Amino acid sequence: MAQVTLKGNPVQVNGQLPQAGSKAPAFSLVAGNLSDVTLASFAGKRKVLNIFPSVDTPTCATSVRKFNAQANDVANTVVLCISADLPFAQARFCGAEGLENVQNLSTLRGREFIENYGVAIADGPLVGLTARAVVVLDENDTVLHSELVKEIAEEPNYEAALAVLK
């Protein structure tokens, strides 16, 4: 069990974030059209998993915007923004913001993802949501970089996440 903070208050997170060099756990999440999408759906592509509690919070929204802005600069890479938000809310946000370089996925039917990726918030006001994390995978789903952000209200280290893809 890991510990992060939310505005300075300790929050327990269940599981272990996949570490560099390990094979990423398979997953099934919900796409914007309510279909199930798996890790295998992105075979042959490098993947940035931008994991966060909800797109309706300022820091989460900023992370989606920043990864969207930088997605065009990285070849053969898809940015997957993963949260507990319903696909409708994710689509509304990206549509209103004009964000087209990221793909939103919901944990609506993806409890295994939350546990297998070690991002399940176990206590506090956000229990049931995901902690903020970034996991970068190569074309073969090997983890190149992972970061469990220590303070949920802070942004991830974008430079470190994208540096492994250059």
The angle formed by the CA atoms of residues 51, 54 and 57, to the nearest 5 degrees, is: 120
Give exposure, 57-71, as e/b (b: 16+ Cβ within 10 Å): bebbbebbbbbbebb
Number of alpha carbons in the 13 Å side-chain half-sphere of residue 74: 24
The angle formed by the CA atoms of residues 42, 134 and 92, to the nearest 5 degrees, is: 70
How far is residue 107 CA from its own chain's centroid? 10
For residue 44, count other CB atoms closer than 10 A to its CB: 7
**Among this protein's residues, is 94 annotated catalytic?**
no
Residue of 29, 39, 60, 94 marked active site? 60
Q: Which of these, 128, 143, 147, lies nearest to 50 by C-alpha position?
A: 147
**Surface-to-core class of residue 38, CB atoms within 10 Å of its CB (0-12 exposed, 13-18 middle, 19+ buried):** exposed
- Known catalytic residues are 60
